[in-house]
């Protein structure tokens, strides 16, 4: 899909004294004046390189009854943080009313969160409220893995006349097996950067990792991929935080985290310092991501196999396999993938799925599943363009 060009300014041209690497820190939520000022004081004392203080004022929570932010009064606390400690301020907005209140309070920068970005109506309303206001806006990726929604949000803000735009990668909700709170799916920020090379990318490792012990890993991967900076949730007393306590760290821990990272320097052109090496690193990370997703797929295939055995359902479901292959061919064509490659890949995945289903059948019964030999034989017969699966292919997820 073609996209409009984003005529965005790099961080260094925002007129705010920002440079790479941009370091943003602060609590998930501004809970009280004491907490906001105490956290800011700790950040300034331990990590003087931090330039921006982030804090949520209005928090979109999954369920009612949990702390949803202190509301508009917290904007005064952020203003005091700037006046006392010299930190630029950044907060989340989700409605035109939030935008207006933040602008009245003199908040330096805004971000649009992962729960708002998926709704084009909400993003457009925010964009309309920002017309005529040259304020920097960070756009987080949508909570679901949809690159077009991420791009669309940036385009709507750009259409409102905003040029100081940046993207924030905070990972995606993913139901499969993953060691992260939100799966990083690095291919999405990579594709966004490829589409808009001048757009700065900031990593939010706190929301990806979900716990302090994985912060360094995620942050380093982002820096290795030439991200422009980091946004780390930091609280003066994480154990007492009213939201996302498990993923926030104290200012001292933030200092330790940053000291342990290797910060990469981008070439003057904006390209990676060693293009070939870094591109290969990106491929390695994508390959690892593919393997993890394939592993999750096989786990589901095993559960399907057990369910079929328990309910005496035939393992052969050729019509479903035909539908899967047709859908993958169409998707592959849309993505510019060779048809033969897509068919060969899907047939290989199909064969591995049958092996997993057969193995769980045998594990339950203690003997080879009926028809195992036939299943293994037919799984090696590829379904190519124009051939029929009706005689031999099994159900797939």
DSSP-assigned beta bridge partners for residue 23: 230
pLDDT at 171: 97
Output phi, psi for 200, to 5 deg: -75, 140
pLDDT tens, 202-214?
A: 999 999 999 999 9
**From CA 141, how far away is CA 231, in angstroms rounded?**
14
| Residues sharing a CB contact under 8 Å with residue 365, sequence separation 6 or more, in sequence order | 309
Q: Taking all residues of the chain, what is their mean pLDDT, rounded to a whole number?
A: 87
Domain boundaries along the sequence of the chain: 11-273, 276-379
% of the chain surpassing 70 pLDDT: 87
Point out which residues pair with 90 in neighbouring strands.
54, 109
- Mean pLDDT confidence for 220-235: 96
d(CA 251, CA 247): 13
Which CATH number among 3.10.580.10, 1.10.8.50, 1.20.59.10, 2.60.40.10 corresponds to the domain 276-379?
Answer: 1.20.59.10
Q: What is the pLDDT of residues 310-344, one digit of tens each?
A: 887 766 677 888 899 999 999 999 999 999 999 99
Q: 3-state DSSP call for residue 167?
A: strand
pTM of the full structure: 0.72
58-113, pLDDT tens digit by residue?
988 777 878 877 899 999 999 999 999 999 999 999 999 999 999 999 999 999 99
The CATH number that domain 11-273 falls under is 3.20.20.70
Contacts with 150 (C-beta within 8 Å, 6 or more apart), sequence order: 117, 139, 141, 142, 167, 188, 192
pLDDT in tens, 345-374: 999 998 888 888 888 877 776 655 444 444
């Amino acid at each position: 899909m073609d996209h409009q060009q984003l005529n965005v300014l790099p961080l260094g041209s925002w007129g705010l004294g920002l440079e790479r690497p941009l370091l943003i820190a602060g609590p998930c939520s501004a809970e009280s004046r004491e907490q906001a000022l105490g956290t800011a004081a700790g950040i300034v004392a331990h990590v003087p390189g931090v330039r921006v203080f982030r804090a949520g004022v209005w928090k979109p929570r999954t369920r009612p009854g949990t702390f949803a932010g202190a509301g508009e009064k917290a904007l005064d606390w952020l203003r005091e943080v700037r006046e006392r400690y010299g930190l630029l301020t950044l907060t989340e907005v989700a409605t035109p009313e939030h935008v207006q209140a933040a602008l009245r309070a003199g908040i330096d920068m805004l971000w649009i969160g992962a729960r708002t970005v998926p709704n084009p109506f909400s993003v457009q309303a925010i964009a309309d409220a920002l017309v005529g206001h040259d304020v920097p806006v960070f756009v987080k990726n949508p909570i679901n893995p949809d690159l077009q929604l991420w791009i669309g949000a940036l385009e709507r803000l750009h259409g409102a006349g905003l040029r100081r735009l940046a993207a924030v990668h905070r990972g995606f909700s993913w139901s499969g097996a993953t060691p992260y709170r939100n799966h990083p799916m690095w291919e999405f920020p990579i594709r966004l950067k490829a589409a808009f090379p001048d757009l700065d990318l900031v990593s939010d490792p706190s929301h990806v990792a979900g716990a302090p012990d994985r912060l360094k890993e995620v942050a380093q991967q982002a820096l290795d991929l030439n991200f422009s900076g980091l946004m780390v949730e930091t609280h003066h007393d994480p154990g007492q935080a009213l939201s996302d306590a498990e993923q926030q760290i104290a200012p001292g821990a933030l200092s330790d985290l940053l000291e342990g990272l290797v910060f990469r320097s981008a070439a003057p052109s904006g390209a990676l310092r060693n293009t070939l090496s870094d591109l290969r690193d990106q491929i390695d990370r994508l390959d690892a991501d593919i393997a993890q997703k394939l592993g999750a797929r096989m786990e589901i295939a095993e559960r399907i196999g057990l369910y079929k055995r328990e309910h005496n359902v035939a393992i052969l479901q050729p019509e479903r396999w035909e539908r899967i292959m047709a859908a993958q061919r169409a998707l592959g064509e849309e993505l510019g993938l060779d048809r033969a490659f897509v068919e060969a890949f899907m047939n290989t995945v199909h064969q591995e799925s049958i092996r997993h289903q057969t193995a769980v059948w045998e594990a339950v019964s203690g003997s080879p599943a009926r028809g195992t030999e036939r299943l293994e034989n037919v799984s090696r017969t590829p379904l190519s363009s124009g051939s029929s699966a009706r005689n031999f292919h099994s159900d797939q997820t």
